[in-house]
Structure 1
Amino acid sequence: MKKISNTLGTDSISKLLVRQAVPASIGILVMSLNMIVDTIFVGRWIGPLAISAITVVIPITFFIGAIGLSVGIGGSSVLSRALGSKNESKALKVFGNQISLTFLTSGLLAALGLIFQDNLIEFFGADESFKDLALVYYRIVMYGIVMLSMCMMGNNVIRAEGKPKFAMYAMMLPAIGNIFMDYILINVFDFGMEGAAWATFISYFICFAFIVWFFIVKSELRLKWSSLKLDRKIVSEISSLSFVTLARQGTIAVLTILLNNVLITHGDALDVASYGIISRMLMFALFPVIGVNQGFMPIAGYNYGAGFYQRVRESINTSIKYSGALALFIFAVIMIFPSDIVAIFMSNNENLDAKTIADNAELMRRTPSALRWVFAATPVIIIQLIGASYFQAIGKAIPALLLSLTKQGFFLIPLILVLPQFFGVFGVWISFPIADVLSTAVTGYYLNKEVKKMIK
């Protein structure tokens, strides 16, 4: 029987990209809708400071969950190329090592995160106005963070097998579960911040259960216990590529810590809430672009492993074309309707106390303009995303690492350290489009150079 993964080297690139990107986009859409709705529920039923609380917790949980994402993406690059070269024994060993690496590393970090929770919450930008809310959310979510990490790893392996629909289901089911549990626990039972946290925990469990079911019932990778034993050579190969994603995600976590602290220094807790709304919109609005990017990686990796270099170049060009059209549409919507977008997160309940009403009004005044600035360079970021992903997909870890860090690490963090000294909170928002343009110019240059070299 012909394996589904083999079609990555035979079907048309456009057809493959649609097949891979649409389910990935839908999955990311539902997952980001989950984050959006979660923030809307918290903002409307608990208050603006609850948004600030979740915003400072996310970098911690995000980084630990990113362990699985990193091992998943890095290991799946190795796995895709192993499948492309018909080396199934290596593919099984890679998958087993991905499981062991993810479980051991995320488990250790989760334990340390719970031990040092008070210090971490303060370090990540919480002040006394919302620290207690942040701690309530943080403790409960951390109990399930290993499950999230395993899910992020497994999802990328599913996609590397050429089964994107199941990867989509793995994101959709927990997102729907979280939205439902948010409504029940926050609105119906009035559990407040604890309700929001337990809803998130339950969503992690739903995803983990689905991932386990898939690999037992549907996967081509029939895992053996011996595959779980860490192999130094395979761990080194996975780690060199996983480090690219981990460095990128770690840089995002550092960036968020820095943003929270800079916003508190030059502004207040409501500016942190503004960034909380904007960060959700960054995930939500760019879901189709990220979906195309995720769909592109296994196609490029498989065809590079098989030696089909013209197909690799075609996958790059097609991905940039599709992503560019989507990015222009997203840019137009954000520029035209910023106030309407922000208003979704605000409660219009007249029974709120005077302080919450005042906070909501001030948040509505500040956030739309900030949202526009952060998205101002959206049409050009496509090349940066595709370019960094290309080097990772073909197994070139160092270029992938450096290009992945160009926006957040090399440009955005320095800009956020410098510009607010002169422009206050406004300096934070204008740092985003400047970093987008600079990182795109650098990535575009190296991507073009590498593709010419590959074709020769």
Structure 2
Amino acid sequence: MKQKIQSERLGTEPIPKLLKNLSVPAVIGMFVMALYNVVDTIFISYGVGIEGVAGVTVAFPIMMIMMAVSAAMGIGGASVISRRLGARREQDANHVFGNVISVIFIISLAGVIAAFTVLEPMLRLFGATEAILGHASSYMFPILLGTFFFSFAFATNNIVRSEGNAKFAMMTMIIPAVINIILDPIFIFGLNMGVQGAAIATVISQASVTIVLLRYFLTGKSSLKLSVADLKLKWSILKEVIAVGLPAFAQQAAGSIMMIAINTMLIRFGGDLHVGVFGIIQRIIMFTVMPMMGIMQGMQPIVGYNYGAKNFERLRETVILGLKVTILMSFLTFGLVMTVPHWLMMIFTSDPVVIDAGVEYLRIMFAAVFLVGVQVVGSGLYQALGKPKQALILSLSRQLIFLIPLVLILPHFIGVYGVWLAFPISDFFACLLASTLLYRDRAIFFGKGTQEQETATIPASSGS
């Protein structure tokens, strides 16, 4: 009964209170997750040097590919599950959950095989030079061996949030972050393991939270129940989950391609130093954008549940409030980076050359960050509504449609500065596209819902 009430409050509790209760834990969890990525980079920068940061930055696209599939299954599964729960179809929600777990096992096997077969060729393909190849390989090998822990934790965190249990979802982000922060200095400095020590600390931290999540699902604390029969892959389930999760996959995959393109152009028109500086800036981006992602994650179960229950008034209220909060956050981020960029760089390094370069490039890259809030809400909103086409367009727009072509073109005319300038230009066009789509579909959010939304029913279970 407790678990049922936990889901049902998505359709009854006042929206401001509900969004706060779901978003604040997500924001805190995102902050902590970003913090341990930041701490990782700080320890590597001081313990190994900017070459170590560059090596991890070159290796990061592989990790992003691995997480792209997990994101697709986790976010896609969470959207489908929240709508099943809203339509009072609990058994169908269990079937979806079981299929997500099965795909995670397949992803994990692929990661382990890749660690022993294609790791070094991939790193060379992604731009690793001889100077940083060793660091990149040392970091990614343990990460790939621990693919199951990363994939399971990443996917099921979204599923926990889809049933309205934001506090526990927050804890599953805080637990590995705290453990990682504790273990980092032990492995990097105490055991003198360098970047490999950072990777091992990360794997151990993700393994610990995997145990916590397994206990949550297997001891009846979740609204969902997992049985062996639910693990059998069914195309009818996978098709729906993949369709909704495809934008998340595309976004992560596009992020990986983006990183490869940026690293390649930085090495060509700059050098390893520029790759290291970008690695630091990437962590700053993560730390400043993740609170907005937390708001979006808090919105998604509310949107999905009320869309499934046809409570369109609550849906509209959630969208409006989410937009207001994320836009405010994006303006605060702009003010922070423009006023104290040197303080942000000094957190990571004491090298004056790296700091000076970072300050200049930070201001360029964040010149239009105040437009990011609309992009974040738009993409997450369409995912929660189960509208894959719009979500896919918005997920791809900033990175694949706008940023990557600009990164590949501009440096040929203005040198390495073209890489940095590509970011604010792409932010502008991505915001324009998101605003256009949201305005076009305003009847869903600000009207009484279209005839399609008011008459449609959630697809009946057909073996799913």
TM superposition score normalised by structure 2? 0.93
Within the candidate set 230, 233, 236, 1:233 is matched to 236
1:314 to 2:317 alignment: yes
1:426 to 2:417 alignment: yes
Offset at 1:453?
Answer: 5.0
Question: Hey, what's the Cα distance between the residues in 2 that align with 1:93 and 1:261?
Answer: 43
Query: What are the residue-to-residue correspondences of 1:24-423 with 2, within 5 Å?
Result: 24-217=26-219, 218-347=221-350, 360-423=351-414
Offset at 1:186?
Answer: 1.4
Offset at 1:214?
Answer: 1.4
Whether the 8 Å CA contact 2:68–2:250 is kept in 1: the answer is no
One-letter amino acid of the counterpart of residue 178, structure 2: I
Whether the 8 Å CA contact 2:64–2:255 is kept in 1: the answer is no
Question: Hey, what's the Cα distance between the residues in 2 that align with 1:14 and 1:295?
Answer: 11
Give the structure 2 partner of residue 435 of structure 1.
Answer: 426
Question: Hey, what's the Cα distance between the residues in 2 that align with 1:11 and 1:61?
Answer: 38
Between stretches 67-76 and 446-455, larger displacement belongs to 446-455
One-letter amino acid of the counterpart of residue 75, structure 2: I
Q: Deviations over 1:36-67 (max 9, x none)?
A: 00100010111110000111111101220232
Offset at 1:240?
Answer: 0.9
Question: Hey, what's the Cα distance between the residues in 1 that align with 2:425 and 2:151?
Answer: 32
One-letter amino acid of the counterpart of residue 444, structure 1: S
Give the structure 2 partner of residue 15 of structure 1.
Answer: 17
Question: Hey, what's the Cα distance between the residues in 2 that align with 1:179 and 1:339?
Answer: 24
One-letter amino acid of the counterpart of residue 99, structure 2: N
One-letter amino acid of the counterpart of residue 335, structure 1: M
Structure 1 alignment gaps of length 5 or more: 348-359
Question: Hey, what's the Cα distance between the residues in 2 that align with 1:252 and 1:68?
Answer: 14
Offset at 1:378?
Answer: 1.4
Whether the 8 Å CA contact 1:64–1:110 is kept in 2: the answer is no
Between stretches 16-25 and 209-218, larger displacement belongs to 209-218
Offset at 1:124?
Answer: 1.3
Question: Hey, what's the Cα distance between the residues in 2 that align with 1:99 and 1:453?
Answer: 33
Question: Hey, what's the Cα distance between the residues in 2 that align with 1:277 and 1:74?
Answer: 31
Identity, in percent, stands at 37
Offset at 1:364?
Answer: 1.6
Matched positions, count? 444
One-letter amino acid of the counterpart of residue 9, structure 1: G
Structure 2 alignment gaps of length 5 or more: 451-464
One-letter amino acid of the counterpart of residue 335, structure 2: A
TM superposition score normalised by structure 1? 0.95
1:446 to 2:449 alignment: no
One-letter amino acid of the counterpart of residue 87, structure 1: R
Whether the 8 Å CA contact 1:387–1:443 is kept in 2: the answer is yes
| 3-state SS of paired residue (2:419) | helix
| 3-state SS of paired residue (1:50) | helix
Question: Hey, what's the Cα distance between the residues in 2 that align with 1:363 and 1:307?
Answer: 53
Could you say what the CA RMSD is over the residues aligned between the two structures, in angstroms?
A: 1.2
Give the structure 1 partner of residue 455 of structure 2.
Answer: none
Whether the 8 Å CA contact 2:115–2:141 is kept in 1: the answer is no
CA 1:108–1:189 in 2, change beyond 3 Å: closer, same or farther?
A: closer
Give the structure 1 partner of residue 457 of structure 2.
Answer: none
Whether the 8 Å CA contact 1:67–1:106 is kept in 2: the answer is no
Whether the 8 Å CA contact 1:420–1:426 is kept in 2: the answer is yes
Between stretches 25-34 and 179-188, larger displacement belongs to 179-188
Displacement over 4 Å in runs of 4+:
none
Q: Deviations over 1:364-385 (max 9, x none)?
A: 2211111111111111111111
One-letter amino acid of the counterpart of residue 298, structure 1: P
Whether the 8 Å CA contact 1:145–1:204 is kept in 2: the answer is no
Whether the 8 Å CA contact 1:102–1:149 is kept in 2: the answer is yes
Give the structure 2 partner of residue 352 of structure 1.
Answer: none
